[in-house]
Amino acid sequence: MTYTMRILVTGATGFIGARLLARLSVECDSLRILRRKTSSTETIKNIKYEEFIGDITNAGDVMRAVEGCDYVFHVAASVTYWDKLKKQQFDINVNGTKNVVEACLAHKVKRLIHTSSIVTIGTCTGSGLNNSLFEPNREKANYASLTPTLTPTNESAEYNLGKYDISYCDTKKLAEDEVRVGVAKGLDAVIVNPGAVFGPGDTRRYRGQLYGGRVWVHKFYVGGGIATVDVDDVVDGHIRAWRHGKKGERYILANENLTFKEISNAIAQKMGWPRPTVKIPTCCIYGLAYFATLISKLTGKKPFATIPMAKFTRLNLFYSNKKAREELGVMFRPFSETNDRTIEWYRGH
C-alpha cells in the first residue's frame, strides 16, 4: 500500500540511503532525492524518484529540495577518519544538517528522520561485556565473548568521546545538536543511531579488506569492539522511527556487541580462512598510523591507516537496543545471518 505524500531522502546514493530509498518506494508514491552531480546512481537505477542536483552544504540547494515535501530522511553524511578532511566533514555533517533543519522548519515538514550514529552516545564502562540485552545472545554463536562484564549504554548516556578528538564522532554529535535546536523551535524530528552497519551492497568493507582477503586479515587483529547491525534492520528502524518514534527522541539501531577480533573470526570462519591469532599492540597501531599519515603528507594520498582509526582500537562501543525493540518494535538479525548475507552478496558480485 502506498501513501499520497512526498518524501525527500538525502544521501540516497549511499549504502544505507539506497536501501532506504528502495524500501520507501513501496511505501510512498512520490520520492525525491538530493544528490551531488558527481554521485553515482548505479545502486538506485531501478527506483522511480525525482532528482534534485545540489549540495547538502548549500542552504539554497537544500531549501529548494525540501520545498513541497511532507517528510525528510536525512541520511547524507561524511564518514571518514582522515584529519585532512576535517573541515569538509564539518561542513557536511554539521552545516549540512543545520541546512536541512532550517529548510524543514521553513517548509513545515511533518517529520524529519535524522540518521546519526552510536558514536554520539556515551561509551560503556566496566571490564567486560554483559550482552544479555541482545537477541540472539552470543552463546549460540561460534565466537564466544572475550569481555564478559561490560554494561552496554543506552540513549540517555551523555557524549564522552570528545577527549579523543575524532572528527567523525564530534561532528555527528554536533549534527544531533542542530536537530535538537530544530525540535526546540517546533520541528517534529526523530533521531536514529545505527551501530557498525554490515550487509549486502556494502562495498566499503571489501575495499577496506575486512572481506577482501589480504594476508594480514588472516593473521592479525586489533583491540576494541563495536555494536553491529544489519543494513536492512537499520532501514526498518528508519521506517518505524518515521511512523512510531517520539518527537525529539533517539533510538539505537544495533544488535550484537562484538570485539573486532570476534568480527574477524566470524568472517574468517565463513570464508574458510585461518582465524587471526596475533593481536597488534596499541603502540604499534599508533606507530603505523603516524607513519602512514607522514607518508600521506608527502604524497597527498589518503593514508591506509590514520590516527583517528587507531583511537577506535582502544574503545568498546557497546550499546543496548532495548528502546528500539520496545518502542519501535524493531526485530534485529544476529550477526551470523548478516555475515552470511554479506558474503553471499560479495561472491555474487
Tens of each residue's pLDDT in the chain, 349 residues: 555 799 999 999 999 999 999 999 998 889 999 999 999 999 999 999 999 999 999 999 999 999 999 999 999 999 999 999 999 999 999 999 999 999 999 999 999 999 999 999 998 754 444 443 333 334 333 333 444 456 789 999 999 999 999 999 999 999 999 999 999 999 999 999 999 999 998 887 765 556 655 656 678 889 999 999 999 999 999 999 999 999 999 999 999 999 999 998 998 888 888 888 999 999 999 999 999 999 999 999 989 889 999 999 999 999 999 999 999 999 999 999 999 999 999 888 8
In this prediction, residue 346 carries a pLDDT of 86
Could you count the other beta carbons within 10 Å of the beta carbon of residue 327? 15
The pLDDT score that the predictor gives to residue 140 is: 37
- Asked if 285 and 62 count as a contact pair (C-beta separation under 8 A), the reply is no
What's the confidence (pLDDT) of residue 72?
Answer: 98
End-to-end CA distance of the chain: 32
Please determine, looking at this structure, whether the domain spanning 7-348 carries the CATH number 3.40.630.10. no
* pLDDT of res. 216: 62
Give the HSE-up count for residue 295: Cα atoms under 13 Å, Cβ half-sphere.
12
Do residues 44 and 215 touch, judged by C-beta distance below 8 A?
no
Q: Where are the domains of the chain?
A: 7-348
Distance CA 189, CA 278 (A): 45
Q: How far apart are CA 27 and CA 32, in angstroms?
A: 13
Angle in degrees, CA 52, 58, 64, rounded to 5: 40
Q: Is 192 helix (H, G, I), strand (E, B) or coil?
A: strand
Q: How far is CA 61 from CA 12, 58, 73, 82, 308, in A?
A: 16, 5, 16, 27, 32
Q: What's the pLDDT at 134?
A: 38
